[in-house]
Structure 1
């Protein structure tokens, strides 16, 4: 187990070696121990399966991203690692923001219940305290384009904290990570930049394939073989110029209105979001630069500014896959399950969903979270647990 020495708190994540492609995330030498006094945050939507069955898949994704948006806004301009998992998230918070982060997470939990009728489980614990339970938190900086960073993690800390919060792990760790309901003062979290303005992404190659892989040891060769079987890697991206469509009004405009109103009039904020999205739709349709914003460049950046979920012994991703490749991938994973003990969950859908966190679109600072349609990650996780 690695023990992190005192570090430059503001610079810890920003100074990590760059992982510029998904394949780079399998280079274990480019991960670093998180400082002991940073705090690991995990969130997840309780009974996300039931919510998705009630037609709330987009809402589940949005609520899962709330923790990321709120903590990122709280910690700005300090760069922090974060990871999206469909119905939950992982974030690391620097020590000077931990006390306020606990309040923000309590508020996010309350806001999820009040505005979206979803129960959000939240927990936070110092990395140093987590290490005393026999696990570690090592961090990599996946940055597909300059300034747009995601976190990837090793060491088992995330899994151990998640298990404790769900009542399946160490009760003492769960106690340390608990965030009291009393910290929620009813104030809304700052979710500026969080939106769902793009239409559902539709497969152009056959099917959107959501995969969750879990296994000890190196998974880089498994990922590489899956991508080979899926077809040309650039064509396998769920987001492409062919799949990006903007409609008006966007399907998620009420999610954005509820998230941004911060106690104000829902009617007024709905009108504001509708006006903003209409202007954005017209600018994108025109396709010509306005001021510092170039809509064609922005579309192209979305294709690469998407997340890649890797933590501990778990790997999650969504690809647009030719139908002929699906059975080959399944056969290959069955062989890996038999020979290497790999476990996997798979979900197929015609579509994928995208949730966006936009900081400064004119400066190319925007990231996008993906999930397979019809409950992608949630469904794949359920099948993984049943295997």
Structure 2
């Protein structure tokens, strides 16, 4: 099976070891990289459409999961889009889903989703290597991590030459299957003060990431793993009407209507306590979320006190002035969670986390400005 390569990759268990070369392997030549992003996401976020932007970004992963019937494939959620890496033989299986998603995004959300793909064999011809490993976020689930700069270059090439690399299909399907995707929880309030979204890219020296993570760990009380934004005590569920209105943009099948009704009973009315497997699912949301990840840059969404925020910002600015990093930050009162639930069993669900009010998208504005200044 083509996915054997990914399933047999070494597993990183300590986030501080994210860039240790021993864990990474070269992506095979018969795989491809798919990059999606919402065009004009910064303006959309400024106009208050950050929830829709997040939802469409996560929908890339959801539509592929529905077609492949598994969550065990490499992907990275980036707020206003996603990156997915697949063996070439799987591309044809998901091509129609992604084209349909572009149409859904435009017609029902008013957002232009760009979907591009590049063969890894083409990157290798340019001497661009993509290195991949897995990071274990809980005992039954890992997410893909990328190192070496290949993913960043693939993203740049696709976006610079989108007409060439745009995914096309001469006979697209009508709808993409988003039955496992939802955003039924209200924005999650901070416990400590603010939600800090961070994007950090090392300049020149990849090993510098280890020092960066160690310093942030120290500021956060020596444990980033305990600083995620999940706040079970203050989390609240949306109303039935709100869920109905929002999810009607996907398609309101009988199954989705039933799911909404029962999820309201379980989570808004607190009946989850009567069902151990459902309560276990709810309690696992934190360990099944992607608030810390690595794809040629550090991506973090952390619940911080004001002192922690100032210390992190001071440290990052010092590193930027030294020319060792570029970075972007965003502050909000809440975090936003979008859920992809294949099953409620251990490892059967993942929760995409972003800072409220468009955390990743807003932080990327600062990051891109610093990158541009660096080139100039």
1:227 is aligned to 2:211: no
User: 1:1-387 to 2 correspondence within 5 Å?
Assistant: 8-77=1-70, 79-167=72-160, 171=161, 174=162, 177-180=165-168, 182-185=170-173, 187-216=174-203, 217-218=206-207, 219-231=209-221, 233=223, 234-249=225-240, 252-261=243-252, 271-272=257-258, 274-281=260-267, 284-289=270-275, 293-295=277-279, 297-307=280-290, 308-312=292-296, 314-387=297-370
Report the Cα offset of residue 330 of structure 1: 1.2
Secondary structure of the corresponding residue to residue 111 of structure 1: helix
Secondary structure of the corresponding residue to residue 96 of structure 1: helix
Contact 2:266 / 2:272 at 8 angstroms: preserved in 1?
A: no
Q: Counterparts of 1:366 and 1:119 in 2: how far apart (Å)?
A: 27
| Deviation string, structure 1 residues 279-327 (Cα, Å, up to 9, x no partner) | 332674441326xx241x2222111111133112x21111000101111
Rate the CA distance shift 1:32–1:324 in 2: closer, same or farther, 3 A.
same
Report the Cα offset of residue 182 of structure 1: 4.1
Rate the CA distance shift 1:286–1:97 in 2: closer, same or farther, 3 A.
closer
Report the Cα offset of residue 19 of structure 1: 2.0
Report the Cα offset of residue 208 of structure 1: 0.3
Contact 2:32 / 2:118 at 8 angstroms: preserved in 1?
A: yes
Q: Counterparts of 2:261 and 2:71 in 1: how far apart (Å)?
A: 31
| Deviation string, structure 1 residues 54-96 (Cα, Å, up to 9, x no partner) | 2211110000011111112222348211110100101111222
Secondary structure of the corresponding residue to residue 69 of structure 1: helix
Secondary structure of the corresponding residue to residue 320 of structure 1: strand
Rate the CA distance shift 1:142–1:91 in 2: closer, same or farther, 3 A.
same
> 5+ residue gaps in structure 1?
1-7
Contact 2:136 / 2:143 at 8 angstroms: preserved in 1?
A: yes
Contact 1:40 / 1:92 at 8 angstroms: preserved in 2?
A: yes
Name whichever of 99-108 and 41-50 sits farther off: 99-108
Rate the CA distance shift 1:75–1:271 in 2: closer, same or farther, 3 A.
closer
Contact 2:115 / 2:167 at 8 angstroms: preserved in 1?
A: yes
Alignment partner, residue 4 of structure 1: none
Q: Counterparts of 1:272 and 1:299 in 2: how far apart (Å)?
A: 19
Rate the CA distance shift 1:203–1:77 in 2: closer, same or farther, 3 A.
closer
Q: Counterparts of 1:235 and 1:146 in 2: how far apart (Å)?
A: 16
> 5+ residue gaps in structure 2?
371-376
Q: Counterparts of 2:38 and 2:263 in 1: how far apart (Å)?
A: 27
Secondary structure of the corresponding residue to residue 42 of structure 1: strand
Instruction: Tell me the TM-score normalized by structure 2.
Output: 0.89
| Deviation string, structure 1 residues 103-144 (Cα, Å, up to 9, x no partner) | 222111111111211100111122112222231111111221
Report the Cα offset of residue 238 of structure 1: 0.6
Rate the CA distance shift 1:129–1:56 in 2: closer, same or farther, 3 A.
same
